[in-house]
Structure 1
Amino acid sequence: MPPKKKRPAIHAATVLALLAGSAYLTVELRKDEQDKSPEVQAVTDSPGRLENGASPQGGKQTWERLRNPDRSVLRTEGGKVLATFTDGARTATLSGPSRTFAEPANTKSRVVTDDWVRLMPETWRKGAEKEKWFKDWYKQYAGSEEDDIFAIAFQYVEGAPIKKDDEGIAYRGDASFGPLNPNGSEGNDLREEQSDFYDYLGIPYTFRDGTTIQPEAKRARAIDCSGFIRTVFGYRARYPLMATDSSGDGLPRTANGMARGKAGTEVIKLDGVGLGPADRPKTIDVVQPGDLVFFKLDARTKERLDHVGIFLGHDAEGHKIFISSREEEDGPTIGDKGGTSRLDGNGYYAVGLRSAKRL
C-alpha cells in the first residue's frame, strides 16, 4: 500500500516525536507522558479512523483472492486496500493513520506510510474472514493506534528512550549491536555478534521446549540482526521463539535459520547464496511492509545467509527501505553507514538481497 501523493493538512491530534539531534523517531500516536521528549517536531497527519472494521469512506467492503503469494485482500467499495492477509502467515498489513519514519542523524531517507503491520493470533487461510477469531481480532485492530511492528522496531534505534515494565526491566530503548570485538577494527568485525533479546533485557529466558538461556553481562542492551527481529516479533509481539535454529518450533535464532525454517510464507524464494549478481532475486516487487528480508554479505559464512531486516516501504524517492541492526551503526537503523538501507539498486545491501518471508 504505497503512501498517497497528496495529503490533507496536518492534524494536531497525531504527532510523531523526533528526539532532536538524534536518530530516534517515536511512532506512538497515543499520549504517553513517560516517553515524550522535551524537543518535539510534528511531522505527520492523520486520515480518517477505521471504526470497528468499517471503511472510513463508508460503503460496502469486498474481499478478493490474489496469488504469488496466495492472499486475501479487503477493499473498500471504491477499491482502496484496507488490509492484506497472506496464507500461512500471521503478519497482516492494515491501512491506518499516516506515519513518517525517519532517522535524520544517519540518512536523508524518510518513509511515509499508512501501513500498520500486526500479528494475528492464528495463521491466515482462505476463508478465514468468516471465522470468529478473525472477526474479533479485526474489530479490535482496524484503525487501532496501538503499537505495531514498525512502532516497536523504532523503539530500539539511536536515542530511543528507555522504558521499564512493572518489574523494573528495561524492555525498550536505544540498543547496541554487540560488545566491541577485541580482535576487530572499523569495517572488520568491530563488534561481536550473538546478542539476543534476553541479553538486551539482562534476564534468563525459558523457551517453549524447556531450554533456559542465561544472558551475558557484556551483551547487556545489545541485539544483533536476528536478535532485533526476535525482540520485535517475538518478545514484544509474541511470535513463538526457538532457543536455537533446531530446538523446538517458532522463529529460529539466526538469519539463516529464519530464511530456511518453516515459520512464515516464502515471498521471494531463496535460489542461491553466492555473492554474484546471478544469485539476486529476479524481482523484488512482491515484498510487502513487514516482510523479513534476508541477505548474503560475507563470503566467510559460506552457504549461510548472514543478515536479516524488516521491509518498511518506500521513501520519498521511491526506494525500498528496510530496518536492521548492524555493527556499523551499532544497533537498529535505516541509516546509510556501511551501505544504504535499500533493497533496490546496486548498493551493498541491494546486491546482497537473497530472499524474503512473511511471518
Structure 2
Amino acid sequence: MFPVSKNAALFLVTAVMLAASCVLTLQFKHRTDHPSASQAVGIRAGSGPLDYERIGNPARTVARDRHGTVIATFTDGARTAVLTGPSRTFMEPRTTDAKVVTNSWVRLLPKAWARGAEQSDWFKDWLKTRLGSRDPDILVTAFDYVAGAPDRRNAAGLRYSGPARYGPRIIDDSGRARRGKRRMGSDFYDYLGVPWTFPDGVVRRPEKDRRRSIDCSGYVRLVYGYRSGLPLNSRNSPSGSGLQRTADGIAHGPLGVQVIPLTDRRPDVIQGLQPGDLVFFRTRKLSGGRIGHVGIYLGLDTDDHPRFISSRKIANGPTMGDKGGTSRLDGEGYYARGLRGARRL
C-alpha cells in the first residue's frame, strides 16, 4: 500500500500504530460519535446486499444500503472513496470559530475505480475492512499536522506526525527575519528529516533548517502519499507516475480526475465537490495563470460555507482557519477569489 521505496519499511510499524488512534488536541478536536440506528444499518459490513447505481458529472458509482441511503461513492479514474460513517467534528479555535461536522470518511482504494469494479474480488475484500471502520482516514491524517496536534513516533523513533510549520523564515541582508516571509519548497521528507528514495531511484535529502516544515504541496504529499500510500513523483514531470511536487504540477498531473476543470477565472459552480478533493488556487506570487496553492476540501462548515485546509505562509503551517486568508471557497476572500479548479485523486 505504501510507496515502493527502501524507506517504506520505516513506516510499516507506523501504519499499525495508527489503526486504533483517535485525534484529540487542545487546538482542535476530532470526535467520533456513536452512529444512530439508521446510520448503523448503513455502515455495517455484512448487513446485507448493497445496490450500486451509476451517476454522472463526474462518472461514478454510489452504493446504497437496503434503506436507499448512500453509504459510499466511487469516482471513475480516482482512488479516493468517500464512505459514510460516524460523525466527527473538526475545528481549530485558535484561528476560526468555524466547525466542520461530517460523517464522510475519505479513504484510498487499492486501485483507481472503474465501472463494474464492485464485482471484483479485490474490491469486495477491501470493502469488508472499510465499512464501519474507525481507522484514521485522510481527514484525520490532515489534522495530524495543525498546531497542537500530538507528536507521534514509530518503533524506529521517527517522528511522523505533530505540528508542522510552513518553512524557514526569510532573512534579509541585515540578518533580520522578514515578517511573514517564509521559504517555499519544504517537502514531506524535509518534515520527516530523513532522505527519501523514490521509485525511479532518485534520492532527495532533507535540509536541516526545513525540519518539521511542509509547504502546501508538500503537505498534500505527506497526507496522501507518505501517510496514505499514494505513489509519489520525485519531480514535477507530468509524464512521470505519482503525485507531482508542486501545486501546479498536481493540478495538471495525470492522477485522478478533474471535478472542477481548471479555468483562468473563478468557477461558477462548486457544488460537485466532496471531502478529500484537492482545490487549486491562483495566487499573486505566480504569473502566467499557474496554480500557486493547493488545499484539501473538508466539506461544509456549520454555517454552510465550503471550507478547506492547507499549509500556508502567514499561518505558518497547516490550518483550516482564517489567518492569512479565510479558508472558504465562497464569498470574496483571498482564496475564494483565487479558486481555479479541483481534482479528485
Output the TM-score relative to the length of structure 2.
Answer: 0.88
Cα distance, 1:185 vs structure 2: 3.3
Structure-2 separation of matches of 1:217 and 1:294: 29
Distance 1:230 1:111 in 2: 23
Query: Residue in 1 aligned with 2:208?
Result: 217
1:166: how far off? 1.2
1:155–1:17: structure 2 CA closer, same or farther, 3 Å change rule?
Answer: closer
Mapped pair 1:288 → 2:288: no
State the match for 1:341 in structure 2.
327
Identify the match of residue 140 of structure 1 among 107, 129, 136: 129
Higher relative contact order (CA 8 A, sep 6+): 2
Amino acid at match of 1:87: D
Q: In the aligned structure 1, how far is the partner of 2:286 from the partner of 2:243?
A: 24
Cα offsets for 1:155-174 (capped at 9, x unmatched): 00001111101111000000
1:203 to 194, 205, 208: 194
**Alignment pair present for 1:185 and 2:191:** no
Structure 2 counterpart SS, 1:186: strand
CA contact (8 A) 1:16 1:100 kept: no
Mapped partners of 1:328, 1:53: distance in 2: 47
Letter in 2 for 1:266: Q
For 2:127 and 2:197, the matched residues in 1 are separated by: 31
Partner of 2:15: none
Name the Cα RMSD after superposition: 1.8
Is 1:19 aligned to 2:25, yes or no? yes
Q: Give the direction of change, closer, same or farther, for the CA distance of 1:220–1:160 in structure 2 (3 Å limit).
A: same
Q: Distance in 2 between matches of 1:312 and 1:203?
A: 29
Distance 2:281 2:82 in 1: 23
Q: Counterpart in 2 of 1:51?
A: 44
Q: What is aligned with 2:114?
A: 125
Q: Distance in 1 between matches of 2:92 and 2:219?
A: 17
2:286 and 2:77 mapped to 1: Cα distance?
33
Amino acid at match of 2:284: D
Q: Deviations over 1:259-292 (max 9, x none)?
A: 00111111000122xxxxxx11121011111100
Deviations 1:222-253 (A, max 9, x none): 00000000000000001000011117311000
Q: Indicate how the Cα distance of structure 1 residues 137 and 60 shifts in structure 2: closer, same or farther if over 3 A, else same.
A: closer
Which of 226, 238, 244 is matched with 2:235 structurally?
244
Residues 53, 138 of structure 1: 8 Å contact kept:
no
* Unaligned ranges ≥5, structure 1: 1-13, 30-43, 273-278
| CA displacement 1:74-125 (0-9 Å, x = unmatched) | 1123321100000000000000000000001110110000000000001000
The answer to which of 113-122 and 60-69 deviates more is 60-69
Contact 1:208 1:248 in 2 (8 A): no
Matched residue SS, 2:179:
coil
User: Secondary structure at the residue paired with 1:257?
Assistant: helix
* Correspondence for 2:310: 324
How far apart are the structure 2 equivalents of 1:347 and 1:293? 15
Q: How does 1:28-177 map to 2 (within 5 A)?
A: 44-47=33-36, 48-49=39-40, 50-54=43-47, 61-177=50-166
Name the residue aligned to 1:264: 256
User: Is 2:30–2:89's contact at 8 Å kept on the other side of the alignment?
Assistant: no
Return the alpha-carbon distance in structure 1 between the equivalents of residues 221 and 142 of structure 2: 11
- 1:26 Cα shift? 4.4
| Cα distance in 2 between the residues matched to 1:283 and 1:347 | 16
The percentage of counterpart residues that share the same residue type is 51
Is residue 157–residue 331 contact of structure 1 (8 Å, CA) maintained in 2? yes
The alignment's TM-score, normalised by the length of structure 1, stands at 0.84
User: Does the aligned pair in 2 maintain the 1:25–1:160 contact within 8 Å?
Assistant: no
Q: Which residue in 1 is equivalent to 2:296?
A: 310
* Residue among 226, 244, 251 paired with 1:235: 226
Asked if structure 2 preserves the Cα contact closer than 8 Å seen for 1:178 and 1:191, the reply is yes
Shift of the 299–213 alpha-carbon distance from structure 1 to 2, 3 Å rule, reads: closer
Asked whether the 8 Å contact 1:45–1:99 carries over to 2, the reply is: no
SS in 2 for 1:351: helix
SS at match of 2:170: coil
Question: How many Å separate the matches in 1 of 2:93 and 2:303?
Answer: 16
Correspondence for 1:194: 185
Unaligned runs of 5+ in 2: 1-19
3-state SS of 2:104 partner? strand
Q: SS at 2:178's partner residue?
A: coil
Corresponding letter in the other structure for 2:137: D
- 2:327 and 2:178 map into 1 onto residues whose CA distance is 22
